[in-house]
Amino acid sequence: MADRAVKAFVCGHPIAHSRSPKIHGFWLKKHGIAGFYDAIDMAPENFEAFLGGLAENGLAGGNITIPHKEAAYRFADRRDAAAEEIGAVNTLWFEDGQLCATNTDAHGFAANLDEYAPGWTKAGAAVVLGAGGASRAVIFALKQRGFTDIRIVNRTVARAAELADRFGEGVSAHPSDAVSELLSDAGLLVNTTALGMHGNAEIPADPSHLPDHAIVTDIVYVPLETPLLAAARMRGLKTVDGLGMLLHQAVPGFERWFGVRPEVTPELRSLIVSDLGAK
Ligand code: ATR
């Protein structure tokens, strides 16, 4: 019955750029589920009231994006280990009337590399560029997948130091000018800064300093091939773009709300690639 249809959402400010409605819409259609997944633009001053009214508005849960991920973390009744360690959440759902929260960005990051760079967990030392919210999810994933030498490089080294303290053993903080040396024996380079996004030609680090076996990945996916990935490819290195992280982070939420674990397929990827190209 239509009035029983499950309703979920993505909430951010702004939200027009979000590809999440396309991703979840694809899966709803594919599985023949009469559910809804809509984008909701909510200014920060109204966000808590919005979360407080989810149940009475018939919403089963949803995704949370910039700038609300920390506020949602604070508001949730229950948080899992990923949420606690990352300190920000992107997925909410109800269990026994309680608002539960997790962060699926770490899962998305790892699942993308599992798909496109099998064996990546044996890369050795990892260099992570950036120390913001996205960096926290990446570091959590790296620690979970067994990395014991994680080098955070950030323009503002104090932010990198804060993260190194937060994540403890095996995570170190470095200023930007140390990057060439840090790359020389690293097996994985991850960019979590916005450098390279939307036609910004700046490269956050020079991949020519990496050894031949290194893997380079970017969480930026507009453009799909960032200047960093292009430089790494020219250098002959294995590269993985950021779109898979976006697609894979959506999987656990869909499963919570709609009861089916969806798949990230080439068809879904093509749909989103053409949507990115169209805007
Ligand atoms: P997100 O949640 O997406 O990670 P964020 O918390 O704003 O966003 O973090 C952005 C990251 O990109 C930070 O590491 C930032 O460096 P600072 O901590 O020094 O600000 C980095 N960043 C943004 N613009 C940059 C630039 N022009 N050069 C170098 N690093 C930059």
Q: Which domains does the chain have, with CATH numbers?
A: 7-103+250-278 (3.40.50.10860), 106-242 (3.40.50.720)
**pLDDT level of residue 54 (50, 70, 90 thresholds):** very high
20 has a pLDDT exceeding 90: yes
Q: What are 94's strand-pairing partners?
A: 99
- The pLDDT of residue 52 is 97
Q: Where are the alpha helices (DSSP H) in the chain?
A: 20-30, 44-52, 69-75, 81-86, 105-116, 133-144, 157-167, 179-183, 227-234, 243-249, 251-258, 266-278
Q: Greatest CA separation found in the chain? A: 61
Segment 97-139, tens digit of pLDDT:
999 999 999 999 999 999 999 999 999 999 999 999 999 999 9
Question: Poorest-confidence range of 40-49, 62-71, 129-138, 196-205?
Answer: 196-205
What's the whole-number mean pLDDT along residues 144-160? 98
User: Distance, CA 192 to ligand 1 centroid (Å)?
Assistant: 8
Tokens of 277: 């190209």
Angle CA 66–22–43, to nearest 5:
30
* Residue 135 Cα: closest atom of ligand 1: 4
Mutate to test the pocket of ligand 1, among 17, 103, 155, 198 (most ligand atoms within 8 A of CB): 155
Q: How far apart are CA 258 and CA 6, in angstroms?
A: 7
Closest CA to 107 of 255, 209, 224, 269: 255
* Residue 129 Cα: closest atom of ligand 1: 14
Q: How far apart are CA 24 and CA 36, in angstroms?
A: 9
- The pLDDT of residue 2 is 46
Whether 226 contacts 207, CB under 8 Å? no
- Angle at which helices 133-144 and 157-167 pack, to 10 degrees? 40
User: Distance, CA 32 to ligand 1 centroid (Å)?
Assistant: 41
CA distances, 278 to each of 131, 242, 274 (Å): 31, 18, 6
Q: How far apart are CA 168 and CA 184, in angstroms?
A: 23
Tokens of 169: 């053993």
Nearest CA to ligand 1 atom 31: 193
Ligand 1 site residues, Cβ closer than 6 angstroms: 130-135, 154-156, 159, 192-195
Nearest CA to ligand 1 atom 2: 133
What are the residue numbers of the active site? 69
Mutate to test the pocket of ligand 1, among 154, 156, 157, 222 (most ligand atoms within 8 A of CB): 154
278 has a pLDDT exceeding 80: no
Phi, psi angles (nearest 5°) of residue 63? -100, 150
User: Distance, CA 209 to ligand 1 centroid (Å)?
Assistant: 22
Mutate to test the pocket of ligand 1, among 193, 197, 218, 226 (most ligand atoms within 8 A of CB): 193
Write out the H or E segment, with its range, that includes residue 41: strand 36-41
Nearest CA to ligand 1 atom 18: 156
CA distances, 158 to each of 130, 173, 197 (Å): 11, 8, 24
In this structure, what DSSP letter does residue 279 have? -
User: Distance, CA 159 to ligand 1 centroid (Å)?
Assistant: 10
Query: Which residues, including other chains, have CB under 8 Å from residue 225's CB and lie 6 or more apart?
Result: 233, 239, 241
Segment 171-226, tens digit of pLDDT:
999 999 999 999 999 999 999 999 888 888 889 999 999 999 999 999 999 999 99
- The pLDDT of residue 68 is 97
Q: How far apart are CA 10 and CA 146, in angstroms?
A: 31
Residue that wins the pLDDT comparison between 4 and 168: 168
